[in-house]
Amino acid sequence: MAKFKMKSSRRWLIFVLFLPLSGVLCFSELSFITEPSDVTVLPKDSAVLDCQAHGQPPVTIKWLKNGVKLPESEHLRFLPNGSLYIPKIKHTKEDSDEGFYQCLSQNKYGAILSQRSRLTIASITEFESHPVSMVVFEGSVARFSCAVTSSPPATITWEFNQSTLPLQTDRLTVLLNGVLQINNVQLEDAGQYRCVATNIGSCLKSREATLTVNKDGGTKPHQRPRIIAGPQNVTVSLHHTVVLECVATGNPSPIISWSRADSKPIDVYNAKVLGNGNLVITDVNSKHSGVYLCRATTPGTRNHTTAAANVTVLVPPTIVERPESQTRPRAGTARFMCQAEGVPPPRIHWLKNGEEVHLNGRIKTYNSKLVITQIIPEDDAIYQCMAENEQGSVLSLARLIVVMSEDRPSAPRNIHAETISSSAILLAWDRPLYNADKVIAYSIHYMKAEGLNNEEYQVVIGNDTTSYIIDDLEPARNYSFYIVAYMPMGASRMSDQVSQHTLEDVPLRTPELTLTSHSSTDIQVSWQPLPAKISRGRVLAYRLSYRTAVDDTVINVELPQNGTEYLLDGLLPDTIYLLRIAAATRVGWCEPSAWTSHRTPKISSSKVPSAPVLQLEALNCTSVRARWQTSPDSVAVLGFRLCYHEEGQPEQPSILLQAETYAYIIGGLDPRRKYHVKILAISKVGDGYQTDRTISTPGCVSVRDHPAAAPPPPHQVTVLTSNSSAVSLRWSRPAFSSGKAVSYTVRCTPVGTHNVSAIRYIQTTKQSVMVQDLIPNTRYEFVVRLHVDQMSSSWSSVVYHQTLPAAPSHPPAGVRVTLIEDDTALVSWREPTEPNLVVTHYTILYASQQAWMAGHWQRIQREGTHTMALLEKLEPGNIYLVKICASNKVGDGPFSSIVELAPKHGHVHRSKNPRHSDGFPDTTVFSDGLYHIDQSSVTGIMVGVSIALTCIAMCALILISKGRPRKLASPKVIAVRAADGPHPGMPLPGNYCLENVEALLPVISNQIIDPKGGSDIVVNSCSSVGSKIQSKKWLIFKKEMRNPPANDAETRACLYETGKTVLRYDGHLGSAPLPPSSREIIYGPLHLESSQSSEGSQETGDSGHYSNEESNEETSNSPTCQSSRATRLASDNGAAGPNLKQSVKLEPEGMSFHRSASEASWLTSTSGNSHHQAACS
């Protein structure tokens, strides 16, 4: 039973402890159960927009229409569950209920806004287009169409001669977009046609159109296929149906087929052909987006014509990375991430308690990230990320909890920034002036100083350094920095801001070239200026180099910084030229680009098409769109020839395009590669002039906008050679194809270090490096990473290596010489202050002044674990010089400074063993000679010690003499005993305050124990008999009991009878009730029955147990053979009240005594003439 109660109590304890944390861990303070959705109603109908919220009450819900709060009225009613009820929809020019609605839920934690709901009033407008009359031949194709704007979308049906058009024949096809197709027209199809648009609101009919059918005039000549109604670009919502129309004529009738421009298969599960060639796709999703081609082909021939249309599937926004709730100290920084997807790409807004976040210097947004710096208490709120596009909106919430703390440290001081390289700046500062000892970390914040809405970056480092190198900066940029000091529950104000400019660097890469020939002897070279991120400084010049493919002679042309084109003339016709370009900043020239080839045109007497103007656009990491235009005065073009290839790879076969084509998508490319694209026009005379252009595909990015294809790390990192302060490393370049320049970063870290400043970074372009200035006999870890084309690999596998030990570089510290006898001195020292130094032995050199002048030293050695030595057989009256050095396996270290020792004359009792002298030396001489002890001082010390011992003995006698009356005093301590044993662990009342429950004092009872050990009977002074106590215990208390009991309480205490008396505690009438302890709140009131054995005492943590042997030994020496009992005075919460008053009830059978604890005391300690009180048992 006791175990069950304890387990149940523990479960309640866990529940109570975790209850305050549930808000942070689960974040259930406020959320929506139901959010309003889109609804379409008729005018004068009623409408209900549902909204239910869950959170800690009270929760209030308000409504907004088009972002403006709505007041409750007879027309707009707020239901008890939070929903909005509109009894009668208004739809007039002056007032309309149509619009976007949102509900706002609020409680004490903040407010949240629901998703956007659109209330639409059903309607149909006038027809945008009506059917048009037409005349066709029998057996041909007739087509009627109409268009109407309707909400919700209307259903289109057709009437023939004012009657519903029967659709029993396969010749008639009605499309969802309102098109009527009549194939193989017959004479009976002639008549009046009109379309009917219907929705839930109304029905609208178009004007009539007349179809006239003429008889076939005879045999038709052969006709190439012609598409008279091709597919149109269409935008459709997710899960809707899209119709792509394709109607073609020809003789014989063409065959219609469909394909995708990207060569992907058409979804056969959701797509079907309606009529003679219309493509219908149901339940569309994002994978159905793309360009669809309708192809009409004459049967049995290759004669065909095509038409294309782009299908765009609109997708509502979805949040793929949600913000997370955070707890931040005041003056800290919070970052909320939010990423959303949708078509079109959703716009992201941030809300604070349901309202737009007000951006300022502290609160900024970077793309879709919300950053709050220098947090203040007002920032404690619920934040929502809202992503919306034309298809809807979605929100995700997170809470920011601001932790308040006093005694924050002051801001770091004297911020100083120093430029190290083109990408690194050293930042240094002084510790805060106040509460610097409470700082646990520093946070470095930096951002670009130029431009608006620049993203702020943060680096957190330990408190063991006041400097840091930021090494991921862009060259030739100005940055601003500030620092914040953090303590466990708060942060300092931000420090003063400093700005520093990084150095310039050579350009990261060269410009992309465009090559065009206007004649057979020239090449027009053009390029775009490098962006600042690529130029890494101000470009001062360009260098254009060119040569023929068969000649190695290179011609260089220096071009000014503002040039973006150059004409090379006087070239050879029909010759392949190789060209490349390089750019330079103040630092130097970048690596030139790869050679680009271009063939000059042949000499021709007739006019050929001029070079098209080519534009390239990267659609994604694997596709490029090429667009081109020809000059108006160019000759007739029959088509275009386009080819492309990756730089350094052979050319691919040319692609022939029709004359009407002016765009082409090149797919299947590799990310982060440079491609050469060439195009020329084809005419009857021959090929026209060619245009060459290069483009680099971007890297593929993931949801978090990080490169997905990072280069592999270096491998086979090995240590070639090493000594005590340097290590030579070498590694292998990973196998990946890239023509870019490669650099490496080596990180060197002492194993187990917590000092950021001890970590070193070394930049190199080689595949080996010598790391110098290392600490001897220290284990290091080395890793290497690779950098190429603005990307970095992960760190390589860790290589551990320990530097060789070196001879000690410092002498032993704190050398001290003490004269312990006339001819003996003690030398002590401390080991040298060097990390990881293992001393094998110490060498002590000493000599008198005369011997030192003669160059004679006496030498002794001690093991490395010793830091003391004796100098014996010294000659009195001589001054001795002493010095020490430390040695290890490698060699000897330097000697310490010389210490002088001056022995003096005097009579001293000598011991044969100088280490254990039985007298005090007359003189103690330190190496610095600060003090001396003479014989009179020693005598004074001995007299003082004797007096102290005498006082201690007298106090002991007084205590012994006062303790004797206690053993003969009347019993005044009531001890509760039952037949089955004591009740350990119960609180004892009285007028006292427990200040230290660990104080232990034995109390000897009046019980007499049978010394022979043959009986289990205990006889007390009141002649009551009970079972022998199984476990002797000690009484725990701190202060004295102030109010001695009255005599009648002593008498009543002896009325106790074994097995018949019950002990109770009652609050004193008129006194304040005792507040419950923490354990009583969690577990409930204490049950005395739950612990009635010595084992139960152990479970409750009784710390007063002594062994039976100890108790028996003590009681045998007592004349009254008193028993002892351990009673716990401290409550479970660790302290008792200052004025604890309780009463004691002794209830023999049929009798009840009631008296306060101040009158009937349970325990008492001596105070002046206090009497030791025993227990009646």
Are the C-beta atoms of 364 and 333 separated by less than 8 Å?
no
Q: Residue 263 burial by CB count (10 A; 0-12/13-18/19+): exposed, middle or buried?
A: exposed
- Rounded-to-integer distance, Cα 140 and Cα 594, Å: 60
Residue 11 φ then ψ, to 5°: -60, -45
Are the C-beta atoms of 795 and 713 separated by less than 8 Å?
yes
- Rounded-to-integer distance, Cα 870 and Cα 556, Å: 84
- Rounded-to-integer distance, Cα 127 and Cα 1083, Å: 78
Mapped onto helix, strand or coil, the DSSP state of residue 895 is coil
- The residues with which 780 forms a beta bridge, in sequence order, are 750, 801
What local confidence, expressed as pLDDT, does residue 512 receive? 86
What local confidence, expressed as pLDDT, does residue 262 receive? 83
Q: What tokens appear for 1137 in the block?
A: 């009240």
What local confidence, expressed as pLDDT, does residue 153 receive? 86
- Rounded-to-integer distance, Cα 398 and Cα 395, Å: 10
What local confidence, expressed as pLDDT, does residue 1027 receive? 38
CA 272 distance to own-chain centroid: 49
Please write down the HEC assignment for all residues of 510-528.
CCCEEEECCCCCCEEEEEC
Which residues, in sequence order, are CB contacts of 666 under 8 Å at separation 6+?
623, 624, 625, 626, 644, 675, 677
CB-CB neighbours of 179 under 10 Å: 22
Phi-psi group of 822: left, alpha or beta (phi > 0 → left; psi -120 to 50 → alpha; rest → beta):
alpha
Are the C-beta atoms of 465 and 380 separated by less than 8 Å?
no
- Rounded-to-integer distance, Cα 269 and Cα 284, Å: 11
Residue-wise pLDDT tens digits, 52-107: 998 888 899 999 999 899 998 888 999 988 999 999 888 887 888 999 999 999 99
Q: What DSSP letter does each residue of 432-460 carry, written as one string? A: PSSSGGG--EEEEEEEESSSSSPPPEEEE
Which residues, in sequence order, are CB contacts of 298 under 8 Å at separation 6+?
224, 225, 250, 252, 254, 255, 304
Residue-wise pLDDT tens digits, 574-605: 888 999 999 999 888 888 888 888 888 887 76
Are the C-beta atoms of 89 and 47 separated by less than 8 Å?
yes
Note the residue count of the chain: 1177
Q: What tokens appear for 380 in the block?
A: 């404690």
Q: What tokens appear for 879 in the block?
A: 């001054």
Residues 1009, 1010, 1016, 1022: is their CA dihedral positive or negative? negative
What local confidence, expressed as pLDDT, does residue 1118 receive? 40
- The residues with which 645 forms a beta bridge, in sequence order, are 676
CB-CB neighbours of 815 under 10 Å: 20
Q: What tokens appear for 122 in the block?
A: 């059903």
Pairing of strands 326-329, 392-403: parallel
User: What single letter denotes the amino acid at residue 73?
Assistant: S
- The residues with which 30 forms a beta bridge, in sequence order, are 55
Are the C-beta atoms of 373 and 330 separated by less than 8 Å?
no
Specify the residue for token string 């008639």: 172
In the chain, which residues have pLDDT < 70?
A: 1-28, 217-218, 405-406, 452-453, 489, 605, 633-634, 701-710, 736-740, 753-757, 789-790, 903-938, 963-1177
Nearest of 1062, 1054, 1043 to residue 972 by alpha carbon: 1054
Q: pTM here?
A: 0.47
| In 243-371, alpha helices (H) | none
What local confidence, expressed as pLDDT, does residue 534 receive? 85
